[in-house]
Amino acid sequence: MEDNLQKLNINQWAEGDRPREKLARLGAQALSDAELLAILIGSGSTKESAVDLMRRLLGDCNNNLNTLGKKSIHELMQYNGVGEAKAITILAACELGKRRQLEKAEERKKLDSATAIYEHMHPVMQDLDVEEAWILLMNQNFKLIKKQRISHGGISETAVDVRVIVKEAILCNATIVALAHNHPSNNLHPSRFDDQLTEQVRKACELMRLHFADHVIITDGSYYSYREEGRL
């Protein structure tokens, strides 16, 4: 099988041999350095598969990515199957890895209270002249994984599909969900529609074993919290 692989691009390999599919199934951490680099270059030569070519290249670098990153475009192009475009791609990937090392991990916001949610979302919503609804998806420690606008509507209400909330929470592996929307009128009191939406989200989260932390209505200067008002 190896002889056949040597003459094929990655997308022509048997599915079990394709590093792209392996990454999709198992995650990037399951791939070797050579397999990750093979995804970037896409193909090898008539004598070597992309993975074998990258194994040989890494072997000449003592299997050290730092050493690989110090290679010049000209040096990389000495390998059969590596043209200028592939050499540039390899060095660009090495540079990105180096820059990532230099950056601090982004600190996730902790949104464990209505005040924290308000302070986080008020800058996003303070100048809006129509209603928007956002979901805040968090881990078990109330650390924000992702916030996403799920609705952009009219002056007095905005339509929200509860299924979207649940879907996004599951895709993000979130365990805690909060909902926030603005009232451009600056009226803090929830509407009948707000009450109905809150109940729908509460029931959906309960069904999917998600903790519905709060529904916060945001105005320019204050907020209304269903949790603080004892309505959740």
In the chain, domain spans: 2-102, 114-225
Q: For residue 6, what pLDDT is reported?
A: 46
The candidate with the shortest Cα–Cα distance to 211, out of 181, 187, 171, 179, is 179
The candidate with the shortest Cα–Cα distance to 137, out of 192, 201, 196, 219, is 201
For residue range 113-145, list pLDDT tens digits in order: 999 999 999 999 988 889 999 999 999 999 999
Residue 93 has pLDDT above 50, yes or no: yes
CB-facing half-sphere around the CA of 5: CA atoms within 13 A = 18
For residue range 68-79, list pLDDT tens digits in order: 999 999 999 999
For residue range 190-228, list pLDDT tens digits in order: 999 999 999 999 999 999 999 999 999 999 889 999 999
Q: For residue 173, what pLDDT is reported?
A: 95
For residue range 6-19, list pLDDT tens digits in order: 445 656 554 445 89
Confidence of residue 80 (pLDDT cuts 50, 70, 90): very high
Q: What percent of the chain has pLDDT over 90?
A: 76
Rounded Cα–Cα distance for residues 229 and 37 (Å): 54
Rounded Cα–Cα distance for residues 116 and 125 (Å): 14
Beta-strand pair 144-152/132-138: antiparallel
CA 35 to the chain's CA centroid: 22
Residue 55 has pLDDT above 60, yes or no: yes
Q: For residue 13, what pLDDT is reported?
A: 52
Instruction: For domain 114-225, give the fold.
Output: Cytidine Deaminase; domain 2 (3.40.140)
For residue range 12-51, list pLDDT tens digits in order: 554 445 899 999 989 999 999 999 999 999 988 888 899 9
Q: What percent of the chain has pLDDT over 70?
A: 90
* Burial letters 98-116, b for 16+ CB under 10 A, else e: eeeeeeeeeeebebbbbeb
